[in-house]
Structure 1
Amino acid sequence: MRFLKVGAVVFGALVVTTLGISASDLLSGKGGSLLGMLVATKEVGVCPVDMVHVPTASSFTCIDRYEASPSDSCPLLTLTSSIDTQRNLNEQSCRSTAVKAVLPWTYVTREQAATLCARAGKRLPTANEWYMASIGTPDDAEKCNTSTNGIWASGSNPACLSATGIYDAVGNVWEWVQDDVRDNKYGETPLPPEGYVAQVDMAGIPSLTETKPNELFYDDYFWSREIGVFGMLRGGFYASDSDGGLYAVHAKTAPTSATVAIGFRCVR
């Protein structure tokens, strides 16, 4: 029996030696060890240049750095209706991209946005994923486009930046997320009546509203309706004023809605 134990120890030592994994490597994840290489693979070069890494997320890895815009392969770069978006979709090479100093893609329904993300090897974020990536974005009209007469080119103000490094999550254009709201429920969770945000859950979704603005939530507003199936928009748009922001949620918008104030970004 003792021989078997010693043999097992020797065999284990040989395996560790063969793989080049020392005890210090296992703890620090560095050097030439297998574990070190795995960690390096995850932490270095994880996302393409148009996306940022969100290391705290478990359901996704990267999110678009800027709001989505039409790629150069799209027939129409300036859109005036959801029909223009559909004409772009009819061109199989057309997809969304995320670049600085370009006007975001607007006049897009939720399903059109989902298709465009898919063509780029991405998808729409969930409400929770959007919030995780957007935390830290200033709720300030001097930094984010919430009190103007029109859309900014993406990344126009470097101060409108989240803690993870995405631009314009607050204001500029509302952003589609993939979640449905059914009879004023988010999943199985009942949502509060329309009003000013007074409390949120861990996804930044309002769980309590009030009739007066709440400074703790930057006077952000929650839009809802008791009956019906709706999509969900987050962040506000260029003319939201104080109603828009990190906690602003529009939960009474039909998924087929497509206006100059609605855009999207993608995750993967």
Structure 2
Amino acid sequence: MSLLAKLAPHLPYIRRYARALTGSQTTGDNYVRVALEAIATGERSLDEGVSPRVALYRVFHAIWCGTGANLEVPTEDAPVSGDAAGRLMRMAPRSRQAFLLTALEGFTPSEAATILGCDFDEVEGLIASAQSEIDAELATDILIIEDEPVIAADIEALVKELGHHVTDIAATRGEAVAAVQRQTPGLVLADIQLADGSSGIDAVKDILQRHDVPVIFITAFPERLLTGERPEPTFLITKPFQPETVKAAIGQALFFHPRRTKQAA
């Protein structure tokens, strides 16, 4: 099997991870591009002793560390500002990496340790440290766009467990737009395929035309968003999801976005 064939299935997901880590599609994609170029030219080699996915992420992190986690950050695409930037600077990059690798990308702590080049106990400590930072962030109001009642209820319970308030649950594009007109949320959790055949993507576009809010897509069809042909969501969760995955994405979305304060109910 060629090198390209080995890595191709993992590229959409490492791009997703890079965007979540940096808070910027442009910056994240730059890191992935440089990592792939390093592999293609032989500057970096894939570890044959681990899976291709683990090996790819390991090279990515070698590039990240080698550039001081500050590669080509474009001012027009800056992910955070003000107090959010201060919090980002105070959180150790490796803590954020360990948390995202395990909670968002689904790696085991042992695999994360291999990727980061550290031992298991250190990864556990890094994850705990990152979670503490994220849990300290202020709660916000959340709109859930989901047409499956059972899934919507699961998401609602998880959101409330994290200390957030659910403003509404919308099953269609029209319901989502109407919900936002009644009360502006601080975060949107959206499915793609909705009850009446409408699109969660279109619902989010309608919302973002009037309101600057972070969005997390939770979908069984990630390939519809991870095309590389248009601006893509920084935060994307694949169904069926794990609760820890949702927690990680919510924490990162609120961490990077300037609006993190709870809206008036």
Give the TM-score, by structure 1 length. Answer: 0.28
Report the structure number with the largest CA radius of gyration.
1
Structure number having the greater helix percentage = 2
Greater strand proportion: 1
